Each structure stands twice: as structure tokens, then as C-alpha cells.
Chain A
Amino acid sequence: MSQTIPIQEPSGTEAKLSRRKARQAALFEPDLVWTAAKQSIVMLKPWLMVRNPVMFVTEVSAALSTLVLALDLQRGAENLPYTVTVVVVLWLTVLFANFAEALAEARGKAQAETLRRTRGTTVARRRRDDASIDITTSDDLRIGDVVLVAAGEVIPSDGEVIAGAAMVDESAITGESAPVVREAGGDRSGVTGGTRVLSDEITVRITTGVGESFLDRMIALVEGAVRQKTPNELALTVTLAGMTLAFLLVTGAIGPMGRYFGVEIPLPTLMALLVCLIPTTIGALLAAIGLAGMDRALSANVLAKSGKAVELAGDVDTLLLDKTGTITMGDRQATAFHPLPGIDPALLAEAAMLASFGDPTPEGKSILVLGEQLLGARAPRERTGGELIAFSAHTRLSGLNLPDGRKYRKGAGDAVRRFVLEQGGEIPPALQPMVDSVARQGATPIVAALGGEVLGVIELSDVLKPGIRDRFERLSAMGLRVVMVTGDNPLTAAAIAAQAGVDDYIAEATPEDKLEYIRREQRGGRLVAMMGDGTNDAPALAQADIGVAMSSGTQAAKEAGNMVDLDSDPTKLIEVIEIGKQLLITRGALTTFSIANDVAKYFAIIPAMFVLALPRLAPLNVMGLSTPQSAILSALIFNAIIIPILIPIAIKGVTYRPLGADALLRNNLLIYGLGGILAPFAGIKLIDLVLGATQIF
């Protein structure tokens, strides 16, 4: 009865594939390159360029040189090939810069486009106040409308499930093929427009207006419509503008100084010097770096409300992580049997297994798994004939009564104790110390008994996620404090915190505790990041500097945070922080590279400028460049060509390894500082050799 108005509505797998494709798009994919190339010409408009002071000065230099060239052509001046080349390379420099930005933007758009395609107009069944149903489209939905979505239908807009539960295929958004449960109440009530209900029917209250959903905001952000410069980007832009001004001063002074020596330096040559000296490399790539950062966040399936949020993530000092699902696997599992003195370990294992046949919970199953490991072929098999005592939250016991009268029980300490006493047995004195010792290690003690005899303790522990310890070591190398948030008692929490290697923990945490903890950290000047899903997380998410809400979470949580993780993956915070740091490092590294390049360019250009008037300056031509004109052109061409060469680094980000500040700085200084000084010497020499071979200059 409901169908999609056939705009374009790719099936989940297709959408997933196309998303993946966009995500892994080759850097210079022909389509994107073509779009970017066209766009880079459009972007030449001076009122667009003025946002970027470095490239604006470059464009003005190119325009002035073109003017000189036009006059030269009229007068039929000499040196035409040289002037023409300078003009062409100057314009190329501007175009390369535009191309870098346009390419980053095109990649972002391509991603956004695939997301948008999942949001074609869909039919919605709206329930009026009088409970009658009208058929409308998603475009007409307002905040507060209530719609019904049945199996096979597409959810028309972002909202919250207010009745029912359903399996939902979110692969169109997340790329994850396994369907997820979305149900009213609780923390899994959030649904995203464009996802498809696979089973059952749910009632959804629409929570965003047309064009205001998270996805819409993210698309707008990537498309640059609302892209404002982030604080660090702004500070860097100011710095680069200052450097540009300084070199404008240097170049401007050289003209009159040349007159003192009786040298009239042609304007295009001065412009070439200027453009070589000002930090065009970073100036050209700065916008692309910022866009690519957003793009990387999107690739990680994180929707950010602003570019600032992504950047800020790099500054986070304290990380609040939920224990369950993030640090541990989530379910407690049996990890050891502790028989009481004088009890055969095999007997305990067998009893534990028999008593657990009535316990279908993951904990009960894990006891069977552990028992089978220990006993191998001797492990008891489930068989009919006995009376299963099913586990219930009320009795906190499960067990098996065999026809021969043997009664196996396992369960919480006091429950089993009561059972044993009822059976006329007694509690051995060794039990309590054993129970305590297990509890102290952060594990849960389960007691097993056979009739009136206590056999021993089964240890259920939280199992750490594989590799989580390494991950935390990396985080602390980066200078982050990891705080584990758990509902466990302090004893258990402390033990797990120690195992996982976190710096602090909040035990028996209530939402108020979290909020207070965040405030305390912030008073100490720390930036706090946390991830949450429930409505009661919303205040803490809003208070945190970086609040990542899970896509599966409630609308309140999503509104409170400044990012939404489409995968609802609790470890995503770590990835977000790395993206933020990588973004800043890429900017810093390319700035260093850009400035360091000036050394070699000076050595190429300065002697060349004056050597005709002051032939004695010839020894300064340390690179042995063939002619003055070739020297200037080589430096200028290097300066232009380095921009497209560095586009991959700008878009992918510099290689980031989670290291301490000192190691990071040392590595980056070596690669981009020292490399930045040396690389242009080789590059300029090479270009000079090529130019020399042409015999023109």
C-alpha cells in the first residue's frame, strides 16, 4: 500500500556499495577531476579569491604580469618567451590552488550525493489527531507529525519511535548490512530518514523539519554552503596573510633598491619572486585540508554539526567511555572454576554445567563453553529425564534435578546458600574468602552446589575487548586521560579499570555523576569528550566539549551532542580524535614545508635578478642553474607544481601515529622542515635542466 515515489531509491546494498565507492574514490578520479577543473576556473572571480589572502595576492600578481605582457606585445619587446612563461605559470599557480579546493569539495559532494540519494522523496502515512491516516510525502512532514511505517517501507524522516519495535535496515546510511532493532522507549528509539523497516510496524514521531536533519546539515557543511573557517584555520590564515605582507614588503623594497644600483627589474620578475616567497603551498591547500577533514569524518560515518567540532576533537584531554560495549565485550563470561578444598575440579565443572542447562542467558552459556573446554569428551550432555530449574531474576538460581535425586544448583551466593541450608547441608568456612577474593578481582562469583554440599565458585568476569589495552596505551601516549563510566560497584570497577589500563573510573555512575565529572574536568581547563545514547545522557553530552551521540540513540541525545555516529560504535570517539589531530598536523606540516621551501627559492632567484647588473654575484648561483631566466622560471614552476603534488597529502592527511608531542614534532620537523629545505633544491635543479634542454631561455 505504500510505495516510494520513484525518484531514485537504490536498494540498501547498492547504496552501501556506492557509498563505499565514494569513500574509497581514487584521489584523482576522472569525474571528480573534471568537475574540479571546471570549478577551479569559476573560482578565479576576485571576490571569491579574496577569502584566501595568499592566493588573492597571487592572482593580482598574475593579472599585473599579464598587463605587462600585453604592453610588451604591443611594443614588441624582447624576452617574450620568458614573460609569457612567467604569466602562464603564475595563472597556473592560482588554478592549481583552486583545483585543490575544488577537488576536496567535489569528493565531499560525491559522498553527500550518495547520502542524499537515499533521501529521495518518500511516501509517508501520517496519523492525524483523530487517528485517521492520510497519505502524504516526506517533504510535507512537520516536526511533531506522527507517521506509521510498516515492513518494507522507508522511514520518511528523522524521528523517534513512540510505539512498537522493528528491525530496521540502516545500511543506506551506515553501510552496515546487519539490521538493527529500533523500539519505543529506552535508548534505541532513534530512527533516521531513508532507512528501511524490515519487520513489524512502528509509529514514529518526526523530530526534524524539512532540510534540517543531521544529514542535511552535514551535506550543507561539506558543500561549503555553511563552511566557516574554524578557529585554528582562521589563526593560520592570519599568520599566512602576515607573512604575505612581509614578503610583499621585501619585494616592494627591491624595486627602488635596484634603482640605486641602476638595475630596472621587470615587473613579472618581481611578481615571480613575490609569488615564490609567499606561502602559496599552504595557502593553496588550506581550504582543501579543512574540507578533507570533514570528508574523513564522514567516511568514518560520523556526522559533525560543524567543522569546528572536528577540529576541536584534536584538543580533547579527557575521554569518558562507557565500560559496557566499549571497554568490555558487554556480557560477563565464565573464566574459571574454583573448587573448594577437597572437591574434585572435574566434579565442580560437571555440576556447574548440569546446573546451567536451565540458564539460557549468555552467562549460563559461557559456563557450558568453559566446562566443555575443561572436561572435553567427559562433559555431560543435555538429556531428558531430569527436571530443569530455569534461571529467573527472582530466584537467581538455575539447576537440574536428576531422577536419581541429585540436585544441582548454581547461582548468586546467598541464593545457593539458602538452598544448601534447606537441603540440610552446611556452609564450609572456606567459601566466603573465596567469594570475596573473586569479587575483589572485579569478577562476579557464582556458587555451585550439589544437594547440601557446596562445591566451589564459578568466576564470571567482564572480558576486555581484544586490543583495548593497547588502544588505551596509545591514547595515553597522545596525552589523553581515559575515564571508564560504569554502573558496577566501585570494587568491580576498580579491578576492570586496572585491567584495561584506564586512568580513572566512575563507578555506580548516574547521569548526574557524569555531568558533575565533566564539569570538574572542565574547571581544570580540560576538554572532555564523551559518547552517549540515552535521553539521560543528553545533559552530559551537551556539557561535554565533544559529545558524540549514537545514531541509534534518542533524539534528545542527538540534539545535545555535536556529532552523531551513524555506526553507533562506542570506540568511534578515538577515531574522531585522531581525525581532529591529523587535521591540525597536516596544516602545521604543510606550513612548515611551505616556509622552508623559501630558502632554495631565494638561492635561485636573488642572484638571477641582479647578476646582469652585478656580474660579480655569479658565485651565489650555488645550484649552477643555466641562465638567470631559467633560474627564476625553475623556482616559479617548482612553486606551482608542488601544489598538485601535495594534494594527496592535503586530502588524505599526513600519516598520523599516536605518539607523544615530542616524537610527533621531531618526526614532522624532519620530514616537512628539513625535507622542505632540501626538496626544492633538487626540484629546481631538475626543472632547470629540462628548461635548459629546450634552449629557449
Chain B
Amino acid sequence: MNIVFVIAVVAGTALLSWPAGKYMAAMMHPAAGAKSRVSQLDRIAGKLAEQDWKQYCFSLLLFNAFMFTVTFLLLSLQQYLPLNPDGKGAIEPSLVFNTTASFVTNTNLQHYSGEVSMSYLSQLCPLMWLQFVSAATGIAALCALARCLAGNVRCGNFYRDVLRATFLVLLPAAIIVALLLVAGGAPMTLQGAATASSPEGVVQTIARGPVAAFVAIKQLGTNGGGFFGPNSTHPFENPSFLTNIVECMSIMVLSMACVWMFGRITGRLRHAAVIFGAMALLLTLKIGFAVYFESAPAAALHDLPLVASSNMEGKELRFGSTAGPLWAAFTTATSNGSVNSMHNSLNPLAGLVPLAGMWLNETFGGLGVGMINMFLYLIVGVFIAGLMVGRTPEYLTRKVETREMKLAILALLVHPLFILGGTALFASTPWGMGTIKNPGARGFTEILYEFSSAAANNGSGYEGLGDNSAPWNIATGLVMLLARFIPIIIPLAIAGSLAAKKPTPVTTGTLRVDTPLFGMVLLGSVILIGALLFLPVAVLGPVAEHLAALPR
């Protein structure tokens, strides 16, 4: 039954991603002369010049810097601003920095509880707005990359792409999901917290707000920042088994669709299918691993006279035990980071799955950026496999040479640098050691998880960590910003450099990138290069904890 549920959700999402990808490609990269909503939007936006990759990156950075500044100011000044029915006070500066960085980078790492710290204005205007445009930034960047790889030196206009992604892709999708959630019982109101008195006469304050709207884009835009602290475990964010399925599928569907969109813009759907297959295989492995290890009860229950059960600690009974690990795999495979169970309560090896998801960060990955991350592995895979067929390696008919490899390796180094470097720094100093609440391997995993989450722009937390401290806020804030924009700019630089080259004709001597064999190469480079870097920390954290808990 559990297996049927898992397969149905995964397969359903994959099926849904095909039309979604077709729709996204039509909206983001319409065929010339196509009359549609796109042309109406373009008319409103006015004529925007085509940009090369450098101009595109500059616009992207400028736009995000602007968003960062506005959000920083709005959050810093929320106590003076309207839409604050519950009178929320000032937020501590390092937390403002962290939160702003977190939402600008599509991470949504939350070192605060929304319903405790944030006014409705803060939740809706800067935060929800950023949940749209940060996701749109990712989609736009992928479109630019795909256009370069299709051989265009001019890769679109960033502002036009963000407009299209926001209003033609994310907004319609979010409206549909929000309506489904409202139908499923999620609240959608601008009134302040409700008060109720229980039969015993105790007065309760029940936080509520524009939840359905917030949750819809939170799921769809690989954001993950919940309206409430407990995220999608909260009954208002995720009221039922059915809303849970809707939200779970929303996490993945657009990220999957991005791969198809990439295939359509580059005109290489078969290549996209191979990439999709490799990603789907890794995802399935992770889900299977997580579900399997969650089917055993937590180690603490070993000697108790229990009927065999799965690990129900930290799970919501209304979703069942399988929905937790499935969501955990989904939310970390993409850079979503929302949760419907507490990851800190996962069995150690099941907890390795969310970590692995964030380390790889391209099993569909964040909106747009997941595919961009995979592009780096594609370049490395193509380079080594290309040598093995006895030609100067080429990707989509353009030669991959020293400049491209230099950039690709540099971009790939960013991710482990922040995760391993950050973890090493915090695990060996009071900055991190003083904030863990569990000693030993579990505490190590908590530090490791926090940095992985920040570097992957994921935003989920292992919790159990006193992470609202200045060192944590500043360190993870910086990691989020750098780990967001470096791996967007460098791949665009590579694609721009490829686009400027002369295409080589395809012969039978050319390495084909649209075969299952190349899928294996891609898997190999992801696993050998991506995973080998993190094996030692995996052993020190989750694996050590798992082995320590085994009955002697």
C-alpha cells in the first residue's frame, strides 16, 4: 500500500511535468510571431533589448540587489508599518540579514517562527513577493542558459523573463494550488489571530492569516518557507491527506517541468529525457532508501515490548508514515525545504537522504537552478566521456575546452567548499559546538545539515540547533547568497562562451548525449564527483549514529 502511494505520487508528478514543461516553454520562449498572452505581457512591459550573457547576469544581480535592499528595509521597519494586527515588534539585525538573504536566494531557511516574529505585511509583501520573483529568477536564468546552448549569443532579456515567469508561470500555478488548498481546508484571511475559549475556560490564541496563498507559492517555487514555524506539519498549512498529496506534488512538478523546458528551448527533447531519466533514477533511489529506513521504529524503542511498527516519531498521523520520508526526499531533492515531518526525528540513515539530496542538489533541484547545476555535471561528464571516444569533447555541437572546464570546476567547488568548510569551522568552534542540543554524531549532523541546507538554497532544517545566533545568521546568510549567485553566473558564462563558438557537425564519431549510455555517464559523474566529496561527513554523521544505535 505504501509503495503504491509512493509510486502514484512520483509517477503522477512526472506525468504532470510533461504538459507543464510544454506550457512553460511556450510562455518563456514563445515561437516567433505566436500571438498569446506572452505578446500582451510584452506589450505592457515595452520593448526590452536582447542581452548577451554578461548583460543578462548584470541585470539579474542588479534586480536581486534591489530586492535585497527593499526587503531588508521592510523587515527592519516592520514595527512601524501597517498590516500588523498582532503588533509584532522589531527583528534582530542579523536575523533580518539572514531572512532577507534566505528569501532573495529562494532558500527560505527560517531562523524564526513566522507566526511569532513576522507581521502580515512582512509575510505577504517582501517574503511572499520574493517567493515569486526568486523562483522566477531561477527559471529566467535557465532560459538564458538554454538559449545560449541553442547557439544564441543573445540570450533574452532578464526583466522580460522574470515578468513572464512570474505572471505567466508561477502566478497561474499558484492560484490553482491555492484554490485546491482552500478547498482542502487551509485558511485564507487577513484578519488577526482568532481567540477561542475551550470548554475548560482556557483562552487560546489561534494564529491564522493568508495561509493558502503563501503555502501555494512556497511549494511551487521551491521556496519552502512556511507561514507557520512548523511548516507543512501545521494543520492550517496542510490540513489533510489530500492537501498533503497536492503540496507534495507541487514541490516537484515545476522543477521536473524545467528539464522539459530546457529540452524544448535547446531543441533537444531526447537529451532532456536522458537527463530527466538520470535525475528520476537518483530520486527514486533516495525515496526508496528513506522509506525503507523509516519503516523501522526509532532506535530508542528497541528494547520496548512493541508490535513492529514504522518510525512514527515526528510524523503527522493524518499523512501516514510513508508521506514523511517521501516528502523529505522531494523537498531536499528540489531546493524546496518545506517539511511535513520533523527531519530531526528521522532514523539516522533515512536522515542521510535529505542530506544527500542537498549535496547533489540537482535531482531536479531548485526551480531553474537545479537544471543549471546539472549542466555543470553535464559539462564534466561530456569532457571525460568525450575524450574516451577520441575527439575533443563537445557539448551540443560546441567544443568544451580549457576555459569551460576551468569555470565548470570552479562552480562545482563552491558547493563543497561552503558545506565542508562551514561544517569544519562550526564543528570545531563554540559558534557551532555551543548551539547543538544533541552531543556526538547527531549534533554533528545538525551542523552539517544547516550548512548543507544553506549552500543548497534548500531551507529545511534538521532542527535541534539553536541557530538564531549572530554567527549562524551571518554565516548561513553569506553562504546562501554566494552559493546562489556564483552557480548561476558561472554556468551562464560557460554557456555564453560555448554559444560564441562555431558548431561542429555531428557524425557517428560524435559523443551522443541522448542515449541511455550517456545517462550512465551522467549518473557516474554525479555520483563519483558529487558524492565522493561528501562521503567522509556522511560517515561521521548519520552512518556513525546509525551504527552506534544498532543493538549490540
Partner-B contacts on A (CB < 8 A): 231-232, 234-236, 238-239, 241-243, 245-247, 249-250, 252-257, 259-261, 277, 314-315, 317, 476-481, 524-527, 580-582, 584-585, 587-589, 591-592, 595-596, 598-599, 602, 606-607, 610, 614, 616-617, 619-620, 656, 660-662, 664-666, 668-669, 672-673
B427 to chain A, nearest CB (A): 4
CB-nearest residue of chain B to A609 = B536
Tell whether, in the assembled complex, residue A260 and residue B509 are in contact, meaning their CB atoms are under 8 Å apart.
Answer: no
Tell whether, in the assembled complex, residue B512 and residue A662 are in contact, meaning their CB atoms are under 8 Å apart.
Answer: yes
- In the bound complex, residues from chain B placing their C-beta under 8 Å from that of A664 are 388-390
- In the bound complex, residues from chain A placing their C-beta under 8 Å from that of B511 are 661, 665
From 428 to 444 in chain B, residues with beta carbon under 8 angstroms from any chain A beta carbon are 428, 433, 440, 444
The answer for the CA separation of A660 and B507 in the assembled complex, in Å, is 9
CB-nearest residue of chain B to A475 = B509
* Size class of the B contact interface (CB-based, 8 Å): 35 or more
The answer for the CA separation of A277 and B531 in the assembled complex, in Å, is 13
CB-nearest residue of chain B to A589 = B388
- In the bound complex, residues from chain B placing their C-beta under 8 Å from that of A480 are 507, 509
Tell whether, in the assembled complex, residue B539 and residue A606 are in contact, meaning their CB atoms are under 8 Å apart.
Answer: yes
From 129 to 169 in chain B, residues with beta carbon under 8 angstroms from any chain A beta carbon are none
Tell whether, in the assembled complex, residue A661 and residue B389 are in contact, meaning their CB atoms are under 8 Å apart.
Answer: yes
B374 to chain A, nearest CB (A): 18
Tell whether, in the assembled complex, residue B423 and residue A231 are in contact, meaning their CB atoms are under 8 Å apart.
Answer: no
Tell whether, in the assembled complex, residue A619 and residue B387 are in contact, meaning their CB atoms are under 8 Å apart.
Answer: no
Residue B384 CB within 8 A of the other chain? yes
Tell whether, in the assembled complex, residue A585 and residue B416 are in contact, meaning their CB atoms are under 8 Å apart.
Answer: no
Offer 17 A-B interface pairs, CB within 8 angstroms, sorted by A: A236-B405, A239-B384, A250-B416, A253-B536, A257-B540, A277-B532, A526-B504, A585-B388, A588-B385, A588-B389, A589-B387, A589-B388, A598-B528, A599-B532, A620-B543, A660-B508, A661-B389
CB-nearest residue of chain B to A592 = B384
Residue B410 CB within 8 A of the other chain? yes
B380 to chain A, nearest CB (A): 7
- In the bound complex, residues from chain A placing their C-beta under 8 Å from that of B512 are 661-662
CB-nearest residue of chain A to B402 = A235
The answer for the CA separation of A577 and B521 in the assembled complex, in Å, is 25
Residue B524 CB within 8 A of the other chain? yes
From 501 to 521 in chain B, residues with beta carbon under 8 angstroms from any chain A beta carbon are 502-505, 507-512, 515, 517, 520-521
Q: Which 9 A-B pairs have CB atoms at the shortest separation, nearest pair first?
A: A479-B509, A588-B387, A242-B409, A581-B390, A479-B507, A588-B388, A256-B428, A253-B424, A253-B420
The answer for the CA separation of A261 and B417 in the assembled complex, in Å, is 21
With most chain A CB atoms within 10 A of its CB, the pick from B424, B427, B428, B548 is B424
By DSSP majority rule, is chain B's interface helix, strand, loop, or mixed?
Answer: helix
Our pick among B421, B504, B508, B550 for the contact of A478 (Cβ within 8 Å) is B508
Tell whether, in the assembled complex, residue A234 and residue B390 are in contact, meaning their CB atoms are under 8 Å apart.
Answer: no
- In the bound complex, residues from chain B placing their C-beta under 8 Å from that of A481 are 507
With most chain B CB atoms within 10 A of its CB, the pick from A231, A235, A261 is A235
Residue B386 CB within 8 A of the other chain? yes
CB-nearest residue of chain B to A583 = B390
The answer for the CA separation of A315 and B510 in the assembled complex, in Å, is 10
Contact bitstring B521-537, A, C-beta under 8 A = 1, else 0? 10010001100110111
Tell whether, in the assembled complex, residue A231 and residue B505 are in contact, meaning their CB atoms are under 8 Å apart.
Answer: no
Tell whether, in the assembled complex, residue A249 and residue B413 are in contact, meaning their CB atoms are under 8 Å apart.
Answer: yes
- In the bound complex, residues from chain B placing their C-beta under 8 Å from that of A234 are 402
- In the bound complex, residues from chain A placing their C-beta under 8 Å from that of B50 are none
Tell whether, in the assembled complex, residue A661 and residue B405 are in contact, meaning their CB atoms are under 8 Å apart.
Answer: no
Tell whether, in the assembled complex, residue A598 and residue B428 are in contact, meaning their CB atoms are under 8 Å apart.
Answer: no
B341 to chain A, nearest CB (A): 27
Q: A260-B427, A669-B388 are in contact. Are A479 and B510 (CB under 8 A)?
A: yes
Tell whether, in the assembled complex, residue B539 and residue A617 are in contact, meaning their CB atoms are under 8 Å apart.
Answer: yes
The answer for the CA separation of A476 and B507 in the assembled complex, in Å, is 9
Residue B547 CB within 8 A of the other chain? yes
The answer for the CA separation of A391 and B544 in the assembled complex, in Å, is 95
- In the bound complex, residues from chain A placing their C-beta under 8 Å from that of B404 are 235
Tell whether, in the assembled complex, residue A236 and residue B387 are in contact, meaning their CB atoms are under 8 Å apart.
Answer: yes
With most chain A CB atoms within 10 A of its CB, the pick from B388, B537, B550 is B388
Tell whether, in the assembled complex, residue A246 and residue B387 are in contact, meaning their CB atoms are under 8 Å apart.
Answer: no
The answer for the CA separation of A277 and B528 in the assembled complex, in Å, is 11
B538 to chain A, nearest CB (A): 9
The answer for the CA separation of A481 and B504 in the assembled complex, in Å, is 14
Tell whether, in the assembled complex, residue A617 and residue B392 are in contact, meaning their CB atoms are under 8 Å apart.
Answer: no
Tell whether, in the assembled complex, residue B517 and residue A666 are in contact, meaning their CB atoms are under 8 Å apart.
Answer: yes
The answer for the CA separation of A245 and B416 in the assembled complex, in Å, is 11
Q: A246-B533, A252-B424 are in contact. Are A526 and B505 (CB under 8 A)?
A: yes
- In the bound complex, residues from chain A placing their C-beta under 8 Å from that of B444 are 257, 260-261
Our pick among B385, B388, B544 for the contact of A617 (Cβ within 8 Å) is B544
Our pick among B401, B433, B508 for the contact of A235 (Cβ within 8 Å) is B401
- In the bound complex, residues from chain A placing their C-beta under 8 Å from that of B302 are none
Residue B425 CB within 8 A of the other chain? yes
The answer for the CA separation of A256 and B540 in the assembled complex, in Å, is 12
B283 to chain A, nearest CB (A): 22
Q: A239-B383, A661-B511 are in contact. Are A610 and B540 (CB under 8 A)?
A: yes
The answer for the CA separation of A660 and B511 in the assembled complex, in Å, is 9
CB-nearest residue of chain A to B511 = A661
A53 to chain B, nearest CB (A): 12
- In the bound complex, residues from chain B placing their C-beta under 8 Å from that of A245 are 409, 413
Residue B35 CB within 8 A of the other chain? no
CB-nearest residue of chain A to B385 = A665
With most chain A CB atoms within 10 A of its CB, the pick from B397, B417, B528, B548 is B528
Our pick among B409, B423, B504, B544 for the contact of A525 (Cβ within 8 Å) is B504
B465 to chain A, nearest CB (A): 14
The answer for the CA separation of A527 and B510 in the assembled complex, in Å, is 13
CB-nearest residue of chain A to B527 = A599
CB-nearest residue of chain A to B546 = A616
Tell whether, in the assembled complex, residue B517 and residue A584 are in contact, meaning their CB atoms are under 8 Å apart.
Answer: no
Tell whether, in the assembled complex, residue A602 and residue B535 are in contact, meaning their CB atoms are under 8 Å apart.
Answer: yes
Our pick among A246, A314, A616 for the contact of B416 (Cβ within 8 Å) is A246
- In the bound complex, residues from chain B placing their C-beta under 8 Å from that of A598 are 528, 532
CB-nearest residue of chain B to A233 = B402
Tell whether, in the assembled complex, residue B424 and residue A665 are in contact, meaning their CB atoms are under 8 Å apart.
Answer: no
- In the bound complex, residues from chain A placing their C-beta under 8 Å from that of B43 are none
Tell whether, in the assembled complex, residue B388 and residue A525 are in contact, meaning their CB atoms are under 8 Å apart.
Answer: no
The answer for the CA separation of A560 and B433 in the assembled complex, in Å, is 69
The answer for the CA separation of A277 and B533 in the assembled complex, in Å, is 10
- In the bound complex, residues from chain B placing their C-beta under 8 Å from that of A599 are 528, 532
CB-nearest residue of chain A to B532 = A598
Tell whether, in the assembled complex, residue A317 and residue B505 are in contact, meaning their CB atoms are under 8 Å apart.
Answer: yes
